[in-house]
Amino acid sequence: MSDQDRPQIYLVTPPEFDLSSFPARLEKVLQGADIACLRLSLATHDEDRLTRAADAIREVAHRADVALVIDTHVVLAKRLGLDGVHLLDGSRTVRHARKELGPDAIVGAYCSQSNHDGMSAGEAGADYVSFGPVSGSLGDGELADHELFYWWSQMIEVPVVAEGGVTLDQVKTLSSVTDFFAIGEEIWSTNDPLATLNSFVAAMG
């Protein structure tokens, strides 16, 4: 697979991280790998915590010329000058986010395993849709399978992201039918995130 055909890496932060140490870990990964986009995905709704986290990693992301989006919080994306938002409710709030953030912002939508919801998100103005999880027992146990990504890649022009329980086997299986792999805890839970990420990239062929 040529570099041009190879999926890109969409990096996701851990659900919790230490503001004093994580930016340095993040910088090492961003400087050592080709990252298309970074998503702030904290398991908190505390506005102060989210703001401080965004401030801490925004400079790191922008030094590496990597766009930074945030889960769900359209208001914070706008207030903090982030590059966009990743919505977790499928197509339901895509139109609202696009209206609030403007035509140049990144608006993405997680659509579980629903190609119908994905198409609705694209029609509402989403720049990409993501399907998942692709393996494991996350969520309700339902998986986004190869057939869904194959159908999407053949029928729909909106870029697609594979996420949730990404493994080396899944990377090998899905590389020909997805545009991005969302990689997060898959690398942050290891001793050397950059080396782990590079093993995913190598598995793309």
Q: Which domain covers residue 139, as residue numbers? A: 8-203
Residue 2 lies in a domain: no
In single-letter form, the type of residue at position 130 comes to S
Give the pLDDT confidence score for residue 4 in this predicted structure.
61
The domain total for the chain is 1
Residue 96 lies in a domain: yes
Residue 70 lies in a domain: yes
Residue 34 lies in a domain: yes
CATH number reported for the structural domain that contains residue 74 in this entry: 3.20.20.70
Give the pLDDT confidence score for residue 5 in this predicted structure.
82
User: Which residue in the block uniquely carries the two structure tokens 């990144």?
Assistant: 106
User: Nearest 5°: CA angle at 143, between 138 and 177?
Assistant: 125
Give the pLDDT confidence score for residue 205 in this predicted structure.
83
Residue 196 lies in a domain: yes
pLDDT digits (tens), the chain, 205 positions: 456 689 999 999 999 999 999 999 999 999 999 999 999 999 999 999 999 999 999 999 999 999 999 999 999 999 999 999 999 999 999 999 999 999 999 999 999 999 999 999 999 999 999 999 999 865 667 999 999 999 999 999 999 999 999 999 999 999 999 999 999 999 999 999 999 999 999 999 8
Count of CB atoms situated within 10 Å of the CB of 145: 14
Distance from C-alpha of 101 to C-alpha of 94, rounded to nearest angstrom: 10
Count of CB atoms situated within 10 Å of the CB of 98: 19
Give the pLDDT confidence score for residue 137 in this predicted structure.
62
Residue 16 lies in a domain: yes
Give the pLDDT confidence score for residue 139 in this predicted structure.
61
